Structure 1
């Protein structure tokens, strides 16, 4: 039942009718996490948003290949692509572990959080280190086509040469002169042809931990190149949707487009979709401001911002109450309101599944409400409007249950389809009992995080987690075999 879906396209800065290249098949690539630390709430917001899109596209009949990568090498501290130390290698040195131990730990942690938040797994989850050959081949082609140059084992993309025939700032909407005037001079710039040039392949220093042989010497791929190579391998040179956080537009996604056009002659995606950032009480969430907290701290309540913890399903509901392109602000009042709203919606859903009685006649028609639910999602995946319509469905359920409204069998069946489709299949919400069934997974995840803190000799965090669990009624017991939890 494919709909007239409109999607906001960052590339054109307007909503456009969604027309897949090869319907009913849809290719969607989303930039995944760099696995050097615990997944943060901004990541969770982004992946919940794309999970919503994945679910809705599937619900309306598309066959979606959803590719979300794992960056397990090559993402340097500067984020521009070729400055600073590799984030994973740096963490490995500090922890005195192999880089792949860091990768494994935080990849598992990321997937655990995604599962707890009821995100569906992507169709394919490729890693950067598993696609070194594809990246080297892509660099070769870009070099052959004249859009890159090699200097002492490092290969740079020539932005100014590219911009002579292409539009480097097509995604960000900025012209090259503005970009050049607002780019600070970085270390190592003397070997580049231009200030905006970025590394496709980087020569590894002797002490660099993660490196591979290439035609230009031992090195490692640039962060931007990784996504270009993996999206091309699994979705082709031209696919439907490319997504990520809004912060990726100016550099990472801009450089991806340049690489793909230089290599394949085409912008990789027809629709570029971006999620907005998180704020806390009106301020940007950041470690430097001391107002950032991790998912497990949100679940447990062990943070300095909120008065208490919230279940993963409440958090998911809270995030879906804001449109993915709007800023999402965390605060006590907003979270408490979401908790009440989520319980109200799921309580009504429980009444429906427990069995409402149909009447011979009806005082309500569900078809118009169903149409409005689809209309909300067809308007750029507008989950807050959808949720408002589902509260109207909840009002109808409660009125029928209280005997204040009559509904016949046909409309009751349609109401049941509506709630199952949009609450479960599209929004991905589970009732409180289902959320409670996941409690052991959440607690085991928190226990693992505490064990990691102890291993890193971060005893303050370890004690904070133990004391926090104790306050909400769970006791931890440490032994030689590990840590177990029980209800106090």
Structure 2
């Protein structure tokens, strides 16, 4: 069904800084590109939030009947430390430290990435290209940019000439930065002396003798710049201009800004009509950072093996928590927030189960079709999942009222209601009915907390034999107690 003909979507376009009516380049078809992970370490929860946000967008566009090609890349070469043009390749560095091949690192963390996003019920993209699989396309793109006068070669490396480009274009059109300000705030860095200007960025880097990942090119044996790969892969599979480009807010500058410049320099046109950016995920009100210890990865969150959360959380609860915040808002991951989301998730799933038991009447006491359109209106307003979820809890209240006999629903309206609930809860929010699992986790937590309390009382009474017995017998069934200055937590094996 071509529902999109009756549902008008407004999308917040980072390029213009306002919500705009979504009009695909070709009616009924959508091309969407999202910057994927650099596979040198376990996937970050912040990345999970970004990919989950665009999974939700993908699901909704598909539901409306668009034929959508969703491309999400894998960066397996060319991404240097600190997102810079100097330094060591992130993947190569990890391979050197572990004394294995770079492609072993790539394989390990690509598998980890897929396992994690499958756990959170993300749909696979239409195409998942890799940077190393598109070296030829990147070399051809560089050659075109050089021929058009916007890049130069020095000592085997090729750089994009930002100042030359800015004479006829606007470098900063997406991030709203001015080149004059960038010049003023740029300090000279070692290893950048080959550039005409510090603001220029690498399209191709000549490989040092110790650099493992390298390919032949007209300029040197080397490797492509990080920004270039997304331009090459997005335009190969979606065309010189396509509808949506997504990614995390942290990629807006310089990565996405450079993509626009590269495409404009090579093709003479801006590549994307709608730029969309998912905002950051914080942890307990502060930036997630391994260096400060304010960090938790997906496996730790789901297993409970951490010192930050009070318990393990079901992936559906985590997904529900993330969907309760608009994708453009900063989201603070907290234990209290997850506990509240768990209760809300279970309440929603209870209501979904109760739908099957509702008795019908000759009339309905509420307008099901109007409620259904309110849900669409929420999604049409820049994919506003918090408002959608508020509407779903309005439905929960109706379900409970019908169940208690204080409201009525007709047979026809009940079928519409069931179908709509299923669509918005499972198809669009991407949740599974894991209420039983979540409740089981909750009951386990309660039982273990009781044993922890008994153990604390035993230790206070110097009954160390009983204290050790509780700890050891829990360990035998896969539950580990973790003592710290702040108290005792548990994790499951």
Change beyond 3 A, Cα 1:60–1:316: same
1:39 matched residue in structure 2: 43
1:13-412 pair list within 5 angstroms: 13-80=17-84, 82-352=85-355, 354-412=356-414
Q: Which deviates more from structure 2 when the two are superposed, residues 58-67 or residues 177-186? A: 177-186
Secondary structure, in 3 states, of the residue corresponding to 1:373?
A: helix
Q: Deviations over 1:31-58 (max 9, x none)?
A: 0000000001000000000000000111
What is the CA–CA distance in structure 1 between the aligned matches of 2:331 and 2:310, rounded to whole Å?
18
Secondary structure, in 3 states, of the residue corresponding to 1:200?
A: strand
For the 8 Å contact 2:346–2:435, the answer to whether it is kept is no
**Gap runs ≥5 in structure 2:** 442-470, 481-491
Q: Deviations over 1:9-34 (max 9, x none)?
A: 00000000000001211000000000
Question: How far does residue 188 in structure 1 lie from its aligned partner after superposition?
Answer: 1.9
Q: Deviations over 1:79-125 (max 9, x none)?
A: 03x11100001001111111111100100110011111000000000
For the 8 Å contact 1:312–1:435, the answer to whether it is kept is no
Secondary structure, in 3 states, of the residue corresponding to 1:274?
A: strand
For the 8 Å contact 2:350–2:435, the answer to whether it is kept is no
Secondary structure, in 3 states, of the residue corresponding to 2:347?
A: helix
What is the CA–CA distance in structure 1 between the aligned matches of 2:118 and 2:436, rounded to whole Å?
13
What is the CA–CA distance in structure 2 between the aligned matches of 1:404 and 1:168, rounded to whole Å?
62
Question: How far does residue 357 in structure 1 lie from its aligned partner after superposition?
Answer: 1.9
What is the CA–CA distance in structure 1 between the aligned matches of 2:406 and 2:95, rounded to whole Å?
64
Calculate the TM-score normalised by the size of structure 2: 0.88
Q: How many equivalent pairs are there? A: 446
For the 8 Å contact 2:345–2:435, the answer to whether it is kept is no
Q: Which deviates more from structure 2 when the two are superposed, residues 399-408 or residues 415-424? A: 399-408
For the 8 Å contact 1:45–1:319, the answer to whether it is kept is yes
What is the CA–CA distance in structure 1 between the aligned matches of 2:126 and 2:477, rounded to whole Å?
38
What is the CA–CA distance in structure 1 between the aligned matches of 2:420 and 2:475, rounded to whole Å?
40
Query: Larger Rg: 1 or 2?
Result: 2
Secondary structure, in 3 states, of the residue corresponding to 1:189?
A: coil
Secondary structure, in 3 states, of the residue corresponding to 2:83?
A: coil
What is the CA–CA distance in structure 2 between the aligned matches of 1:471 and 1:278, rounded to whole Å?
33
For the 8 Å contact 2:10–2:22, the answer to whether it is kept is yes
Change beyond 3 A, Cα 1:77–1:472: farther
For the 8 Å contact 2:360–2:408, the answer to whether it is kept is yes
Question: How far does residue 475 in structure 1 lie from its aligned partner after superposition?
Answer: 7.5
2:16 pairs with 12, 27, 32, which one?
12
Secondary structure, in 3 states, of the residue corresponding to 2:138?
A: helix
1:421 matched residue in structure 2: 423
Change beyond 3 A, Cα 1:472–1:250: farther
Question: How far does residue 309 in structure 1 lie from its aligned partner after superposition?
Answer: 1.3
**Gap runs ≥5 in structure 1:** 440-466, 477-486
What is the CA–CA distance in structure 2 between the aligned matches of 1:99 and 1:472, rounded to whole Å?
39
What is the CA–CA distance in structure 2 between the aligned matches of 1:234 and 1:96, rounded to whole Å?
35
Question: How far does residue 300 in structure 1 lie from its aligned partner after superposition?
Answer: 1.1
Change beyond 3 A, Cα 1:49–1:75: same
Change beyond 3 A, Cα 1:434–1:197: farther
What is the CA–CA distance in structure 2 between the aligned matches of 1:203 and 1:21, rounded to whole Å?
38
Change beyond 3 A, Cα 1:171–1:192: same
What is the CA–CA distance in structure 2 between the aligned matches of 1:401 and 1:420, rounded to whole Å?
18
What is the CA–CA distance in structure 2 between the aligned matches of 1:299 and 1:235, rounded to whole Å?
36
Question: How far does residue 340 in structure 1 lie from its aligned partner after superposition?
Answer: 0.5
What is the CA–CA distance in structure 1 between the aligned matches of 2:30 and 2:363, rounded to whole Å?
42
Question: How far does residue 278 in structure 1 lie from its aligned partner after superposition?
Answer: 1.1
What is the CA–CA distance in structure 1 between the aligned matches of 2:364 and 2:249, rounded to whole Å?
47
For the 8 Å contact 1:132–1:221, the answer to whether it is kept is yes
Q: CA RMSD in A?
A: 1.8
